[in-house]
Structure 1
């Protein structure tokens, strides 16, 4: 497939999925569908420079980020950009984050989850955004590729969608990680600049990893905090509401005691 010319007046595609929720895979699929142009990482600090650099571009430019960017929303409303988002079971997201960055899971019971949810609410409230569920994407990657191509305005045959999916399956991603050394970023965020894959990017790729990674009280507390979100998005809880609430209250008490102890030390 050749590099895609701007379609329907869109100059940009912003891949803004949930952290550890399949956003890298989604951005890779977008790049493949649009003829494999590079994907550029954009932050709140660099977005203005990014837009100036590509002000007169004659092809689609793909950007990847997580933090909410008003500039991307304005471009989408003006018909100059498309926004794609992928989300995942929050329990598996938390399990992946705490494993990769060695963060205490307790931190996400009181604090970390709020940021994830704020980003989710901000992006998914935008009219016309493309939403993909990680679990559905992994279960049938060719079908997801076809759906994404349709949103982007690109016609793909079944064989083309299949070929793109096969090139981005789990085993191929692991092969890319082995073959391409990280050449950008720092610390635990070292990644390969073309594939955007970290050396420890894939921790399994499946569903339900939280059962092996997080303790029962942590999972129960997370389920209480995200109970409405889980219901809306079709994720079944592992624990009953009373068990969830009890775990939530226990961690609330622990958090309060921790704050009191810190205050006394100061």
Structure 2
């Protein structure tokens, strides 16, 4: 049996390698193997073919040979990860990474890619968070022993944790060091001085510039949050936008850059890809995400645990409890109103094979009914993107019972735009303030403030990397942000003299 101690550089894999090795050695079950480059692993396997004991090997790289061992159930994986922002700091301090945005972004992409490759086998792995074990070796020894089905008595756990304590490793640091491949390290433990110099969490805050932190977070935001790390950007004056056209950033500015509010997203998809509510939730807003597709709703639940997530189609008639829904592969083009010719063109433009959508019946309700059920009577931002079904959604909303400050509504052509303008003509308390490409913004007049119109810009806008649940081929990227103010707003600005 092989035990592969994995994880990216500067993430605790060498410490785990020593924990596993000491457990195996103490019980007389096998031995640790020395360092070898990934390309040399086939020869390592060949040399160990007659070794029937447990073989402990450290590798940052998931080689095809290791994959084969995993698939044949001949290897178990002990894996660790660490806050990628702190990993970047650690690498820069050791001169292993240049301190520039291009290098930092490239490494972040690489780190996440390596993590995702290993995580493919998560059901066969022991996975540990560096921040959870580097100051509690004793608990980590116990957990790894349980994973390996190796019984340790308390005295053995204490012995191993004492041997591998930070203080003991510092004392032993200079005794067995050798130099190889430009690195100085202990031949037996694979530890070098840099492994035992510090255990500070969140060191990126003091060691990276805001732009460098943003460069990491705009790529790794989803990964960081999924592993219970906290994003730094919401504490700054910058805004990492996930919207396709900076809708979230524009809405935030129109509503006075408030740190609190309620955003409702009708057509939330997976809660991340092109989301108009994700970033607002990060800065402190409450969110309600509505997605009718049951398969995509599962992703939404995973990605947005802090949100109120509703698995419903939104209709205009309160007597409709179920409706047919067309679910296509890209997902964001799915809806109750399906234009097959338009969708086919979009697939063709992206070089994707078009398949007929699945037709499924989904539960339906109106916004008025839903908001009453949720006891919601004030909404700061209501975003509606339901592929041509927007007017039906609005028909089911009683604006006398719910106070909506700002609407963001998709209108893909002039027909939809005309319908929307006609609807809001009957609600004179709202003003059309502008658009960014196909999305129209309708703001309640009493919230049209001089300072917000004056300060509307994209100076602090940061474009997030987009992720699609089905992979990169299905990603629709964000466009260059813009906002075309309506004639009414231009007149307002001229009257106030704020051009």
**Residue 156, structure 1, aligned to residue 146, structure 2:** no
Q: Distance in 2 between matches of 1:230 and 1:139?
A: 21
Answer with 1 or 2: which has the greater Rg: 2
Give runs of aligned pairs for residues 69-84 of structure 1, distance below 5 A.
69-84=63-78
Q: Distance in 2 between matches of 1:150 and 1:20?
A: 25
Aligned CA-pair RMSD? 2.0
Among 174, 177, 185, the residue aligned to 1:178 = 174
Structure 1 stretch displaced more, 131-140 or 108-117 = 108-117
Q: Is the 8 A contact 1:43 1:67 kept in 2?
A: no
Task: With the length of structure 1 as denominator, give the TM-score of the two structures.
Answer: 0.82
1:114 counterpart residue number: 109
1:27 counterpart residue number: 17
Among 143, 153, 166, the residue aligned to 2:162 = 166
Q: Deviations over 1:228-252 (max 9, x none)?
A: 0011000011221872535856xxx
1:228 counterpart residue number: 222
Distance 1:13 1:244, change over 3 A: farther
SS at match of 2:9: coil
Q: Distance in 1 between matches of 2:145 and 2:84?
A: 26
**Residue 132, structure 1, aligned to residue 128, structure 2:** yes
Give the structure with the higher percent helix: 1
Q: Distance in 2 between matches of 1:171 and 1:200?
A: 14
Give runs of aligned pairs for residues 192-203 of structure 1, distance below 5 A.
192-203=186-197
Shift of 1:70: 1.9
SS at match of 1:201: helix
Which blocks of at least 5 consecutive residues in structure 2 are unaligned?
A: 241-459, 464-499
**Residue 243, structure 1, aligned to residue 233, structure 2:** no
Q: Deviations over 1:186-208 (max 9, x none)?
A: 32x22221121123333312211
2:42 counterpart residue number: 48
Q: Deviations over 1:169-197 (max 9, x none)?
A: 1111212223333x14232x222211211
Q: Is the 8 A contact 2:8 2:60 kept in 1?
A: yes
SS at match of 2:160: helix
Q: Is the 8 A contact 2:62 2:118 kept in 1?
A: yes
Q: Distance in 1 between matches of 2:117 and 2:152?
A: 31
Q: Is the 8 A contact 1:14 1:63 kept in 2?
A: yes
Distance 1:74 1:239, change over 3 A: same
Q: Is the 8 A contact 1:96 1:203 kept in 2?
A: no
Structure 1 stretch displaced more, 12-21 or 70-79 = 70-79
Among 90, 114, 126, the residue aligned to 2:84 = 90
**Residue 59, structure 1, aligned to residue 49, structure 2:** no
2:205 counterpart residue number: 211
Q: Is the 8 A contact 1:27 1:39 kept in 2?
A: no
Q: Distance in 2 between matches of 1:19 and 1:247?
A: 32
Equivalences, count: 237
Distance 1:47 1:98, change over 3 A: same
Q: Deviations over 1:98-142 (max 9, x none)?
A: 111253222443311111111111011113111011111124221
SS at match of 2:138: helix
1:258 counterpart residue number: none
**Which consecutive aligned stretches of 4+ in structure 1 deviate over 4 angstroms post-superposition?**
246-249
Which blocks of at least 5 consecutive residues in structure 1 are unaligned?
A: 1-10, 250-266
